Structure 1
Amino acid sequence: MARPRRSSGNRRKNNKHGTIRIWPWLTGAALLFVMYFAYRIFRPNTYPFREKTYFYIPTGSTYADVLKELKQQHIVRNVKDFDWLARKLDYPHHVHPGRYAIKPGMSNLQLVHVLYSGKQAPVRLVITKLRTKADLIRLVSHHLEADSLSMTTLLDDEVYLRQYGLDTNTALCAIIPNTYFFFWNTSAEGFFKRMMQEYNRFWDSTRLQEAQKLGLTPQEVIILASIVEEETNHNPEKPLIASVYINRLRKGMRLAADPTVKFALGDFSIRRIYSKYTLVRSPYNTYLNKGLPPGPICTPSPATIDAVLNAPQTDYLYFCAKADFSGSHVFASTYAEHLKNARKYQEALDSLHIQ
């Protein structure tokens, strides 16, 4: 006897139940798949540093270099996960050198976005009083990618400096102390070009006119201001001290400025200038040479430069530190009067055994 056939309705019913049983597995698998990749994309992937840190990508770096630096600079925990997403988003073809702010807990997506965008975290460079080119070189090479060799080469390049009306002695005239913001990967040439832009902005028509009234060029004003800067920290007296040196220049007298002797000797710790020091052979020694030294002996502040430009008309030719060591000075129009003031100060030094 033939077996009865199952109806097609039963088969459809069984298929329907089978499909219903498979869907939860597929949905679960898909959900796990999404969660896995979301985990790789959005989970925090930086080392647990407390505050934001900075990731440096040197100029000329390849994507392979970036991966290496992420390890060496201890930025990323799981480089493989970063690499996977970076390749998906085509970052290897968009590597930008620079300094990037990395915050604690950043995800792979956030990291790739920051680096892909090329939006650097600027470097805050505070320039105060610098006495030598070596001081400037150390400051710049410590904060920017421009290394000491490239900075030294630039500051010793007469041909390069000549285009700005400078030479190796007057190169520091381009540096106006202030707070500046740079991108970390700024080159030595880029740094100096920026400084010249600030220099030209500083020397506006008003300051140029004031310098012209004194019969000085902007560079000569800066050189004179550098001497004033080293003479005192007492701002109210700077215009008067400037007037002394301006008067000496006009009379053809030697400036006989103690700070130029310290610069010539290369010893800024000297507190008392003896006659033997004033005999040092150097174009910067204003005891031996008439006129201004060939370059600034420091980078004077804008306030000191303005003190020179606005120096009052006086008949003072001499000044000396007060014997009370207050930091102030006494001024004199005659040498005899000056000797009296100087003797008081020297006696005060002797009483304290200051050499």
Structure 2
Amino acid sequence: MQQQNPIKRIFDLYTSDLSYQEIERLIKREANEVYEFFKSDIPKPDKSRNKFVRGLIFIRSLFNAFIMKLTPARRIFYLISIFFFGIGYLEYNTLYIWSGFIILNLLLAFELADKLLAKNELDIAKKIQFDLIPKHKAEIGQYETASHYEPAREVGGDYFDIIEAHDKTYIVIGDISGKGMAAALYMTRVQAIIYFLLDNYSDVKEILIKLKKYFSQKLRKEFFLTITIASIEKDGAINLVRAGHPPPFHYDASNNEFREINTCGIGIGFNDYGVFEKTLELYTFKPGEGDTIVFYTDGLTETMNKYKIMLGEKRVKKTIETNANKSAEDIKKSLVRLINYHRGEAAQNDDVTFVVLKRISAQSK
């Protein structure tokens, strides 16, 4: 048997799991994410300079932004490796070139180890967060329910829950500003406070006022929370309060139209000077048989495609209307297909969460 070329063996080893999709992702998605990561540290270009000078300034700024993200020790060793490369090239000294190469690869190994450790922690956090998502029944009293939760990153700042307490069923959906670990930690705190409050209060307006009181105490200034809480009574009536959150979609099956549930209420985390409690509005309504209510975060309607075009409310409502005679689960699947079709190959720009509630009987069970 002819022995395989060692260079080809090495090439096959390193490219065995390589695909066109991976290359495309590196160029289109990951390169853009890296730029977005460093962008905040890059000063805005001076338009009075010509394009060539602006390009050089941009490259220098990007390099500085990258260098300053390294730890001080790694920063020094990285500069030493660049220095060795330069000296080795100018003096044709392979010892310097190999020294720089070894140092650079050691630094790469350290950075990769840090990334893998962080990814492992994120994977654990993701499992915990998904464990906190309710595994609710398909039917709640006179309603069917279906839900969808899709974080933009490993963990997200969206939160929803379906909780039974005080002979009622509570639907909670919220969105903390931002994405990632910080938002996820805040949403875990929101969930804990809500469960504590449900042990002591049953009125949704009072629960939201108390949530604002406890949650705002240690909330950083750059974060805020929007949230909707609804309680379903035994007769099918719904009591709802909304604090700056997108208004739920209510499709009235008997009249084939959408009703606006745009109640007053501002988000939690702003310096409202007492306006929050004064403006918070309780809305009570009783959906008819076949009606559909969709609670959602703005990631649903603001899903973007590669051209940065948002999905929008109109298409979401049209999908709900088209599938209004189907089950809550089927409506959810139709909305997920709509999201995926609109997004296409674009990276997910925000967490997407929604809960479909459908009235299946006008009579108490």
TM-score (norm 2): 0.24
Q: Which has the higher contact order (CA 8 A, sep 6+)?
A: 2
Q: Normalized per residue, which structure has more helix?
A: 1
Higher strand share: 2
TM-score when normalising by structure 1: 0.24
